[in-house]
Amino acid sequence: MAALRLWSRFRRKGDGRGARGLAGGKYEYDLLVIGGGSGGLACSKEAALYDRQVAVLDYVELSPKGTRWGLGGTCVNVGCIPKKLMHHAALLGGAIKDAKNYGWDLSLPVHHDWGTMANAVQSHVKSLNWGHRVQLQDRKVKYMNLKGVFLDKHTVQGESKQGEKTILTAENIVIATGGRPRYPADVPGAELGISSDDIFWLKDSPGKTLIIGASYVALECAGFLTGVGLDISLLVRSIPLRGFDQQMAHLVTDHLTSYGTRVFWKCIPIKIEKLDSGKLQVIWKNLESDVEERESFDTVMWAIGRAPETGGLRLDKAGVQINPETGKVIVGDNEETSTSHIYAIGDIAEGRPELTPTAIKAGKLLAHRLFGKSTELMDYDNVATAVFTPLEYGCVGLSEQEAVQRHGEDNIEVYHAYYKPLEFAVAERDASQCYVKLVCLREGDQRILGLHFTGPNAGEVIQGFALGIKCNATYSQLASTVGIHPTCAEDVNKLKITKRLGVDPTVTAC
């Protein structure tokens, strides 16, 4: 609400007319993008297709532990890409254990080598860094490894690692600087821990690790670290996966526990100390019992959220307003800030999902509005996403809690089922957390409000159903669709038991 109140004071422009002409007159560039992550790169490359003068500034500050990476932003370097690769490494370990039941003669237990995995993942990331530079060059986008700050509404100063300064002017400016992991300010010794900015670039195994937090970053890292054979614990203050459906979130953490991750619920860190042995002793308090506990770890990782990278941009010089509560830039429906020709996309924009695909699409659509004849706005409703924990969780649309809040409990119908993937049967895996839930309006044609799925390849399953929900699919349309057998996805099509009926929703046959 604070963001909406602030925004209401500003003019909302953005008529799609774009710059007044090709750069070379009043301004050096038609478009200057600050930030070389997914959104910024997508916007700049798309704008260049209109034969405009485009530049990108990108500069990576060292993490508190000294980690640095190349062009591409969070997703490429310290997010989606290395995370999915390490998640896959853990899944391969599980598949090796399953293989014996399928007749493969393998010597167990198997052992994982962190260095081999890390080298392969880091090499792939570096190839993507180089690929982005080549793509910018091919599109004739000027790339500068400079840290940008505003001098006025059309002027940005770029500073190199050596301290050399460059002045750039632009008709339009896009802020796409993303975010960085938060460190707590009130925990002595917090600086002894690492973050997700560091975990993917470690050359050596982190060993016995405590992850503090319950975000998707925390749960995903706990999952793949446990999966490669490490002793992993989670310290959770309140609820897991805040913002997600809470029934599904607890299925994910229940599976993590059965997978081997220790979870300390309702606990907060008090202090971290470095012992003479080099290990880190963590002292925490259980909020329910008010008892302090302590244990030593090789590594402590913070995963308590991310902060937008807006503090050093001198946004006040350009008249760009932020929400003081979140630090994010306030934007209108067309991504425009309080200054008419300055835009913000991706994680630093207030009220936007912190997802790579939304930043990419928003950036491309912005370029089309600025330099093409398009008036199409980014649609942030019903964006599908997945959490790559050992048991994956995919979802699109409203959670059950959100549906109840918006429509009232009596006005929604929830279809659900527990199912067992065929892959789990021969491997004798526990499938008690494999679950699918469909949230619908109760009356009329029962329009689908949300779909939630835990199980193998959850992201792949949800992606296809997301199209149907985007097109206002109904329960009857879903039920009339013939599933592919034998798949996990077909259990979505077969949903027929509602929570209102109060009967066991476990699937027992075709």
Query: Residue 365: what residue type?
Result: L
Active site includes 407? Answer: no
Q: What angle do CA 241, 93, 304 make, to 5 degrees?
A: 25
Tell me the two tokens of residue 143: 């790339």
DSSP 216-284: HHHHHHHHHHHHTT--EEEE-SS-SSTTS-HHHHHHHHHHHHHHT-EEE-SEEEEEEEE-TTS-EEEEE
Please state, in angstroms and rounded to a whole number, the distance separating the CA atoms of residues 33 and 111: 45
- Give bridge partners of residue 396 from the DSSP assignment: 451
- Closest by CA to 121, choosing from 67, 199, 180, 66, is 199
| Count of alpha carbons within 13 angstroms of residue 368, beta-carbon side | 12
The one catalytic residue in 368, 407, 416, 485 is 485
Check residue 301 and report its DSSP letter.
E
What is the three-class DSSP state of 462? helix
Pairwise CA distance, residues 41 & 48, whole Å: 11
Cβ-Cβ contacts under 8 Å for 294 (sequence gap 6 or more): 281, 282, 283, 284
Catalytic residues: 485
